[in-house]
Amino acid sequence: MLYWDYAAAAPPYEEVVQTLEQVMRKHFANPSSLHRAGEEADKLIKRAREVCAAALDVLPQEILFTSGATESNNLAVKGAALQYQSRGRHIVTTELEHPSVYESCLQLQKLGWEVTFVPPDSQGVIEPSRIAAAVRPDTVLVSVMHVNNEIGTVQPLREIGQLVKAVNRRTLFHVDGVQGYGKLEAPLKAWQADLYSLSAHKLRGPRGTGILYVREGVTLFPLLTGGSQEQGKRAGTENVPNIVASAKAMRMSGEQRVAFSDRIRPLKAQLENYIAGIPELVLNSREDGAPHIVHFSYPGMKGEVLARRLEELGMAVATRSACSSRQAEPSRILLSMGRDTAAALGGIRISLGDSHTQQDVSRLEQALLAAVQSLKIAEGGMK
């Protein structure tokens, strides 16, 4: 079975697995305890914070550890909204966001906040001027993802950040960076980002750890209370082994970013060119999108059906983002781009990793063609 779902969860680096095991065995003490074992665990967290900060070119005290990107996004969106509601109760985001951002905004909407959802163009790109036009004096937060987790489009964050701050300096700018870090540059200062979310298991780290950059001077209303951990912004005993292993994964993926992109982009181009030659399939991803995500639709055929047929042929692919893949509804992302329901129900996401080779891509291409042909024959027989 060839695994083509790195965007959902990437296999951890062997060095990360070894680090996780070593820290779990040797440093099991609570880092809040005053004894020596607790102090040693606390030092490991501080060092991990420094490693993550160095990877992003920010200050160690600007790094918070959470349970994953879902919590990081919830804390960024709701924590900012609740903390700064005296400034206003308006939020700007896009129709493309991950459910952890999108549904956080819907939840705030039910609680009385006004949310503007900016639509993309037909290629899944957000026009910066449309974000800027939505910002008002009472806009507390703008949240725009770096790379769309479903179709891989890259948003023009530098231009968006500049325009947002030009319209309202006090509006906070949050970036969901989960699918971008380790594949593309993440210049937080150039973006003028105030908040930035990451998930370790997308970076070949362990599940259950997220990172949230909070620019110095920004305060968040804590969603979890009951302890003073993480500078009082996120209560709960720290997961020391995961945090240390996540920092290692973040450092490694950042160091290997250029090599990863240089090797994977030609494979993506090869696959997209092949898919474009199959009449039944329609590409949704862009050539200039993230290097690791290829997305297409088989209009009129449910994505789950094609995914199951591909699995029978030894290929593990995704129908949508992992957080939505078990839902039978059409893709919210594709509908927002103007695709019809047939295309939005028939989407398939293929996400490449650093272990894939040209031979692997050729095997996937053969499986794709065989799957489409067999489904076409079966569909014709049913009519």
The pTM score is 0.94
Query: Residue 325: what pLDDT?
Result: 47
Query: Residue 323: what pLDDT?
Result: 54
pLDDT tens per residue, range 306-323: 999 999 999 999 996 555
Query: Residue 220: what pLDDT?
Result: 97
Q: What is the mean pLDDT of residues 153-180?
A: 98
Q: What is the mean pLDDT of residues 276-301?
A: 96
Q: What is the mean pLDDT of residues 182-200?
A: 98
Cα–Cα dist 131/95, whole Å = 12
- What kind of architecture, by CATH, is found in domain 14-255? 3-Layer(aba) Sandwich (3.40)
In the predicted structure, residue 192 carries a pLDDT above the cut 60: yes
Average pLDDT, the chain: 95
Residues noted as catalytic = 323
When comparing pLDDT for 316 and 325, which is higher?
Answer: 316
CATH of domain 2-9+256-382: 3.90.1150.10
Residue spans per domain, the chain: 2-9+256-382, 14-255
In the predicted structure, residue 260 carries a pLDDT above the cut 90: yes
